[in-house]
Amino acid sequence: MNPIDIPTFQPRLKVLSREQVLAIHTAALEILEKTGFRMEHPDALKMLADAGCRVSDDNWVRMPGHLAEQALKSAPRQIALHDQKGNKTMPLVDGNPFYGTGSDTTFTHDLETGQRRRTVLQDIANFAKLVDGLENISFAMSMSNPEDVPIENIYVYAFAEIVKNTNKPIVFISDSGKDIAKIHQIACAVVGGEEEFRRKPFILNYSEAISPLRFPENVMEKLIFCAQKSIPICFPSGSNAGGGAPITLAGAMALGIAENLVGLTVHQMFGKGSPFLFGPNVSTLDMKSTVVSYGCPEWALTQAALADMRDELYGLPIWAYSGASDAKVMDAQAGAEAMFSIITSMLSRCNLIHDNGYLEYGGISSLEMVTMVNELVAMSRFFVQGIPVNEETLALEAIHRVGSVPGSMFLTDDHTFDNFTQAQFIPKLLDRSRYDTWEEEGAQDFYKRCNVEAKRILAEHQVEPKSDEILQAIDKIVQGG
């Protein structure tokens, strides 16, 4: 009989005990029952009232906890996001992490000049194409709010541009029930109809309530539309500590979770079993600059805590962020802050991890940053795979061969030849060359190498094109009234 294999322990970060998880959840329910929230969508308000909520003047709702518990039960544990070819590339479930870009930056760093400038539609195309060409970036977002399209249809233009430049899954923004319907139409056109889309969704909507405890009508329109059409959605609010929420992280989490539970409850009322990605954004408001920080340790900590809450209690896949920075250029601070959130989000097994490639606390999108993140995700993934311990990896035979035969060495041993590509992390852009080589090759720093690589991908990568029929259908929907 063969010996039993030793399972490989894969490093895992935990930040909350079960008692802490339950206390935060209880606090969230108490917020809904005792403080309540403002619901500004008439149909949602009526549904909540009919379900047993107390509604008072000014659309103020107090919600019994059991409604939230019910919604947590009916939402699916897995959200299977597909690519646009129908392959299930992003099974959002348990501890599967997937990294992607962000949205809505006002500025970008020009790839040629390095200057910070306003974003245009072509930038959205570039980011989508870059994502398509990077193996560790799993989904695309717009990254930019382009200044050269009509602002009342900005998100429809952005979405169409992403679709034309990548076949990966897309996380999208919209303004209200009006433009989201158009975006849904485009998505259906891409995969060949609404039924096909329901079976293999490739888009996920990002909508935000307003912390503290306010649910505007246009935001709820989107949520209800997604619930009815089975479009996966996440619904974080801006419960950043000190701004939209209390300064202490536990309270900020409780408030953000309470707001998420309102969204989830209404969502499940309008579309029982529709997919809902759980999780608030709990960053901090910087007490000097009043910016919401994207490089802070607090956000990494609260999303790790949320992963613990998923495992202990909620069971729903979660929304997270990483690979972003408050630095104004892609410097050492940007690298440090990006890696901090990338490795912690992976160690804590967050699921859908967005905002990779942000600088200036979400003000600037950077193609070089996204290219860097691709490498850092690979590095982190290598780390969390742990150290397999078995006969092959213990390598006693190789040790014996090399150790007992004078003049032999591991570098020439078959065991090295057979194993080195799995046993080692092989960087693409992180530089380990000898000094002279590095100097001869232009003495490029990491930023410069990422710049060159981003340019190379944009020049060489071929996105599998969509048919003329689909492209025409998209343009027709975009142009249509």
**Given the rule CB under 8 A, which residues bind other proteins?**
104, 106, 118, 145, 151-152, 154-155, 175, 210, 214, 216, 238, 242-244, 247, 285, 287-290, 363
Q: CA dihedral in degrees (414, 419, 420, 425; nearest 10)?
A: -170
Rounded CA gap, 175 and 37, in Å? 22
Q: Which is nearer to other proteins, 104 or 259 (CB)?
A: 104
Q: How far is the CB of 152 from other proteins (least distance, A)?
A: 7
Least distance in Å: CB of 144 to other proteins?
A: 10
The Cα–Cα gap between 325 and 337 comes to 6
Closer CB to other proteins, 172 or 197, in the complex: 172
At its nearest, how many Å lie between other proteins and the CB of residue 329?
18
Of residues 146 and 232, the one with the C-beta less far from other proteins:
146
Between 145 and 166, CB nearer to other proteins: 145
Work out the number of other CB atoms within 10 angstroms of the CB of residue 86.
13
d(CA 30, CA 27): 5
Residue 286 or 392 having the CB closest to other proteins: 286
How does DSSP classify residue 88?
Answer: -
Q: How far is the CB of 346 from other proteins (least distance, A)?
A: 29
* Percent composition of the chain: helix, strand, coil (DSSP 3-state, to 5): 50, 15, 40
**Closer Cβ to other proteins, 324 or 346, answer by number:** 324
Question: Bridge partners of 171?
Answer: 204
Distances (CA, A) of 240 to 12, 295, 304: 25, 13, 15
* Distance of closest approach, residue 402 Cβ to other proteins, in angstroms: 59
CA distance 222 to 131: 26
Q: Which is nearer to other proteins, 243 or 279 (CB)?
A: 243
Helical packing angle, 249-270 and 65-74, nearest 10° = 70
Nearest distance in Å: CB 478, other proteins = 17
Are residues 142 and 127 in contact, defined by beta-carbon separation less than 8 angstroms? yes
Residue 111 Cβ vs other proteins, minimum distance, rounded to whole Å: 21
CB of 175 to other proteins, least distance (A): 5
User: For residues 359 and 330, is the Cβ–Cβ distance under 8 A?
Assistant: yes
Q: CA distances (Å), 187 to each of 33, 123, 226, 352, 450, in order?
A: 38, 21, 13, 20, 32
* Shortest spacing between CB 160 and other proteins, in angstroms: 17
Question: 386: how many CB neighbours lie within 10 A of its CB?
Answer: 13
Q: Specify the pairing of strand 276-277 against strand 233-234.
A: parallel
Handedness of CA 288, 294, 300, 306 (dihedral sign): positive
Give the nearer residue to other proteins in terms of CB position, either 98 or 172.
Answer: 172
- Give the start-end residues of each E strand in 40-94: 54-56, 60-62, 79-81, 90-92
Which one, 8 or 289, has the nearer CB to other proteins? 289
Task: Name the residue nearer to other proteins (CB basis): 155 or 159.
Answer: 155
Q: How far is the CB of 42 from other proteins (least distance, A)?
A: 17
